[in-house]
Structure 1
């Protein structure tokens, strides 16, 4: 290659414009050799003494939080980028290193900070080259910036006891630009892992990693970060995304009402952004678009974090957060048309409170169409959730959900109001009652909750034409083994008629780790609609799709949940227990509530396909391999045990599987028995109210 050619490549490499390419056999091309050689002159960014916590999703959209690996003997992070010959060549050697050390408690992760790589492309690269290690999507480059990443193929060894970075450098001395030795003379990364496990200082490598340069444009803007304006850049972000909760009288723990408050909490603000705890949105930006998106954009994340890392300077200009007196409104949607009082309940200071199922007598003398609802929760620390359902008759005992009709609203921490789309509503008939499922949790002192439900109606001259309905993708047969860190469960709901899907509300408990929702079309096509790489029990919400999603007849809504029943889960009450479905938070749930409407239903022409949908509900809970029938191995939980006991009788054609018609016959029998039991309960005298506090 001519000197002129090498010079040009060197200039391009230093500008980050040439990335390096590979021939079909994975060897570096001549152009790549020149690029890499020229790039060796680029100075590395400084390595931090310690690494701060972060949460990043991997290429499969499974979340990984660094500090949850605190019990590891060492953590190894390897930098990667698509198309880089060094990354590809290293893949089998990284797998070998992982196989050598994972039995000793060493955790391995890859980190992709390349701005040009999409999640889909990274997933394809990981599969093609069989990385065998989660590839973390550092889309905002914050982790790469903090680690001082410069190239692919850099190995960072971290001591989880101190979170010190004990080593940064190449795997060994086998690989260089255009050179690959058969045997390493210096095994720097392995030596560093051994030293970290033994508690000894790790020796530094004598050269930097020979990988492809990764462009970090913000590194050249440190001086500009110090000039980020609190008045015009930072405060508007906080006003738009944070202050609604973080103001007097609202749900946030601190009020961001001035620069001084923001400055004082700035280290914490940086931490909760890097760990994706705030804003409490949780939905992956890689999947779907949603109304009222509470998440921060990439630009907003970088502005806030870089401003804080520059020292959170005050700068010139007024303080927008201090100019207005802020107080959370009594009713966020304005005064309701109808305010209903949830029956008061005294929550003990400690102990277990069973789900309460009171009811509210419906005072309406004529039916009304609901367009929105909201709960005004009296004791926020004690109320976990409220669910509602219309009941034709006023119950004489607990308002059991089995007798509910349409929901008139709900509450969970982070999701207090329900707004129906324009021209869509839920009809609340006159009379009867509204059943309540109330989940209360003691928090150290006895309190009496006096929450209220506010309903907002369409006016008589603006009645909606379309009807909103709701259903649940549910699996009450879940069984989570003790110690399992990523136990997966699946369930689906089959739509018998064409529908439009408006929203999804995932729900699990303390062990819930991640969740997603897919649409499986009748023609075999699959589409991911929602992904929560890191589910957060403390914040739950309805995710409303930006545009309603068409669900053809015969489609399935398929939900997956992952559960962390290991000791690494700080919220896990007991990792030694097998966990099944249950109401209480230390038990578990698999529950994704969806709102939809039937395409051929109008207010003037109501239809009810719920019975058709229910015919496949049991199948959707148990059919883990999604083949449309049940094998013996799929029958788990109490329901599964019952079916297994009569498997031979239910499997009338002796096919070895329970198919839809066979299961429908069993469900019909159960339905008749349930209806008879409910009729008997309605005739029985009211049960005495259970004592507060427990079982």
Structure 2
């Protein structure tokens, strides 16, 4: 949910957008007994709680067809059903979302190979009886149909974040304890996921309508990702798309998790600042409170237009990330993938346009193509230079006015691919397109730099470990953008400029770094940095147990490609402040 820009990373849109949590005390459902209910399944067959009266235990799972975690946990629940079926444990799924149709539920069952009955709870009647709030949210009933456990299936996913693996299988543990005749040791956990889309009880009224105000906010800040064919988990293009998602929307904008933006407003002004204004947030809150009136269709603006296919001029060369498609599993965490490709550049190249394109937008979190000069295959050195990146909403790099990117002869490309499983096995074969110009046409170079430190070691348990790095400019530059990069232990990141005249300023401050949303921050106006300016980057890492996504608080951490390791890179890019001659065009990279 952000303005189109050269954003190089994106959050796990299919998770961070909607993951929210409900917290219950340990005895939240003590002695709550569920009375019989009857609902129709996606096959049109009635199912009642009494129909499994002989089962020792019953697992009731509230799910939704578009919630990312419901997609991931549907197959996991089927695996649990297969494991416990012989032990007289029945499983049933319930979709109480007002926005989900029977057709969509049937597609969800087929796509994710759900093996238990899936029921439609029209009017949220059964969800209200359970006091269910989220999808997915599970309830474990004993033989008396008393709730003995409620909450999550396991602890892999948190609010807007995810662990590399499951640490506690909460539902399976509760089942095993009851089957063994024991009390459930943990009777309630946080349910992480989307709000159940309940039927609105307020008659629509008021002057704030979808057609007149709200659609304009969503078109500006949301629809670029939340539209058909894009990676975001649900659409926000039309009025009917929004119904049922209002509570989730209110929550994520209140928490400032949507649209994603992490720059401290005290330092710098950025053209791609994605924040909603206080007035926009209040309009959305008022609209929901007033029952979400649709308004007059005649007031609807023209929908935004998005280009399909290449957005750069015709490419002179298309380069795939690898020879064969990469297979992405249905769930879990996929480590960063690095693919080295030799594009066959036997002579210096000058690039005037480049675009990274995902083959499978449903699972590609981000793409970064790095230039690795001949004889410098180590990606950990400063020779690693970014050529182009992709994230939902990013635009191609198209240069004009004699500006180009210089690539030395013999250079190879290293593709960094971040994939996010979406509940079904997928394949991807992403690619980039490149357009060249002759050296004689070059007046300015777009220069990229990486302010990095590869020699750090973050001690086990350290909550605020500082790592610093410096980069000194060899010529006057016009700074255009900055992009901090860390992994799961990243806590904050800051860029500072120390000028030759002794003055100093903060260029960018990211006090709450989020691995899932590694944004590029584009200056509203290019900033002149004189030759000799020292760019100082400071990264703070949290390797303590309080960092809930920390893979291993008990171990020290050093540089490494994978998210379980760490990186400290302050990417920045700019152009020469003054025109350069043809003879000096390739110097000073």
Matched, 1:274 2:254: yes
Task: Give the Å deviation of 1:282.
Answer: 2.4
Task: Give the Å deviation of 1:404.
Answer: 5.7
Task: Give the Å deviation of 1:299.
Answer: 2.9
Give the secondary structure class of the aligned counterpart of 2:574: strand
Task: Give the Å deviation of 1:457.
Answer: 5.0
Counterpart residue number, 1:408 = 387
Counterpart residue number, 2:526 = 548
| Structure 2 CA distance for aligned equivalents of residues 248 and 262 of structure 1 | 13
| Structure 1 CA distance for aligned equivalents of residues 588 and 559 of structure 2 | 27
Counterpart residue number, 1:561 = 539
Give the secondary structure class of the aligned counterpart of 2:561: coil
1:426 maps to which of 397, 401, 405: 405
| Structure 1 CA distance for aligned equivalents of residues 261 and 463 of structure 2 | 23
Aligned residues of 2:354 and 2:432 also touching (Cα < 8 A):
no
Distance change in 2, residues 1:248/1:294 (3 Å): same
1:489 maps to which of 457, 460, 467: 467
CA deviation string 1:526-555 (max 9, x = no partner) = 211112232221222322212221222332
Distance change in 2, residues 1:492/1:370 (3 Å): same
Task: Give the Å deviation of 1:235.
Answer: 0.7
Q: Which moved more, 1:225-234 or 1:440-449?
A: 440-449
Task: Give the Å deviation of 1:592.
Answer: 1.0
Aligned residues of 1:291 and 1:544 also touching (Cα < 8 A):
yes
Task: Give the Å deviation of 1:290.
Answer: 2.0
Task: Give the Å deviation of 1:519.
Answer: 1.1
| Structure 1 CA distance for aligned equivalents of residues 334 and 439 of structure 2 | 48
> Residues 46-195 of structure 1: matches in 2 within 5 Å?
none
Distance change in 2, residues 1:509/1:523 (3 Å): same
Give the secondary structure class of the aligned counterpart of 1:571: coil
Q: Which moved more, 1:550-559 or 1:340-349?
A: 340-349
Distance change in 2, residues 1:261/1:364 (3 Å): farther
Matched, 1:297 2:272: no
Counterpart residue number, 1:283 = 263
2:514 maps to which of 525, 536, 543: 536
Give the secondary structure class of the aligned counterpart of 1:264: coil
Task: Give the Å deviation of 1:316.
Answer: 3.1
Task: Give the Å deviation of 1:421.
Answer: 6.4
CA deviation string 1:104-123 (max 9, x = no partner) = xxxxxxxxxxxxxxxxxxxx
CA deviation string 1:13-37 (max 9, x = no partner) = xxxxxxxxxxxxxxxxxxxxxxxxx
Give the secondary structure class of the aligned counterpart of 1:246: coil
Distance change in 2, residues 1:491/1:364 (3 Å): closer
Task: Give the Å deviation of 1:590.
Answer: 1.0
| Structure 1 CA distance for aligned equivalents of residues 205 and 539 of structure 2 | 40
Counterpart residue number, 1:468 = 446
Distance change in 2, residues 1:403/1:324 (3 Å): closer
Matched, 1:339 2:321: no
Aligned residues of 1:342 and 1:360 also touching (Cα < 8 A):
no
Structure 1: runs of 5+ lacking an equivalent: 1-66, 72-223, 611-695
Distance change in 2, residues 1:378/1:441 (3 Å): closer
Kindly indicate which of the two structures has a greater share of residues assigned to strand. 2
Counterpart residue number, 2:587 = 608
Aligned residues of 2:320 and 2:429 also touching (Cα < 8 A):
yes
> Residues 271-670 of structure 1: matches in 2 within 5 Å?
271-318=251-298, 320=300, 329-333=308-312, 336-345=315-324, 346-347=326-327, 349=329, 355-362=337-344, 367-378=349-360, 380-381=362-363, 384-389=366-371, 391=373, 407-412=386-391, 415=394, 417-420=396-399, 422-428=401-407, 432=410, 434-441=412-419, 443=421, 447-457=426-436, 463-599=441-577, 602=580, 604=582, 605-606=584-585, 608-609=587-588
Aligned residues of 2:498 and 2:505 also touching (Cα < 8 A):
yes
Matched, 1:265 2:234: no
Aligned residues of 2:371 and 2:385 also touching (Cα < 8 A):
yes
Task: Give the Å deviation of 1:351.
Answer: 8.0
Task: Give the Å deviation of 1:406.
Answer: 6.0
Aligned residues of 1:247 and 1:327 also touching (Cα < 8 A):
no
Distance change in 2, residues 1:558/1:327 (3 Å): closer
Task: Give the Å deviation of 1:609.
Answer: 3.4
| Structure 1 CA distance for aligned equivalents of residues 459 and 500 of structure 2 | 33
CA deviation string 1:432-464 (max 9, x = no partner) = 454123345574765442111022456x79945
Task: Give the Å deviation of 1:467.
Answer: 0.8
| Structure 1 CA distance for aligned equivalents of residues 491 and 205 of structure 2 | 35
Structure 2: runs of 5+ lacking an equivalent: 1-19, 25-203
Give the secondary structure class of the aligned counterpart of 2:587: coil
Counterpart residue number, 2:84 = none
| Structure 2 CA distance for aligned equivalents of residues 493 and 563 of structure 1 | 20
| Structure 1 CA distance for aligned equivalents of residues 245 and 333 of structure 2 | 34
Task: Give the Å deviation of 1:281.
Answer: 2.9
Give the secondary structure class of the aligned counterpart of 1:468: strand
| Structure 1 CA distance for aligned equivalents of residues 304 and 479 of structure 2 | 40
* Count of aligned positions: 392
Task: Give the Å deviation of 1:360.
Answer: 3.8
Task: Give the Å deviation of 1:254.
Answer: 1.0
Aligned residues of 2:483 and 2:520 also touching (Cα < 8 A):
yes
Aligned residues of 1:515 and 1:531 also touching (Cα < 8 A):
yes
CA deviation string 1:180-233 (max 9, x = no partner) = xxxxxxxxxxxxxxxxxxxxxxxxxxxxxxxxxxxxxxxxxxxx9942232121
Aligned residues of 2:219 and 2:237 also touching (Cα < 8 A):
no
Which structure is richer in relative contact order (CA contacts within 8 A, separation 6 or more)? 2
| Structure 1 CA distance for aligned equivalents of residues 345 and 531 of structure 2 | 38
| Structure 2 CA distance for aligned equivalents of residues 356 and 305 of structure 1 | 43
Task: Give the Å deviation of 1:599.
Answer: 3.7
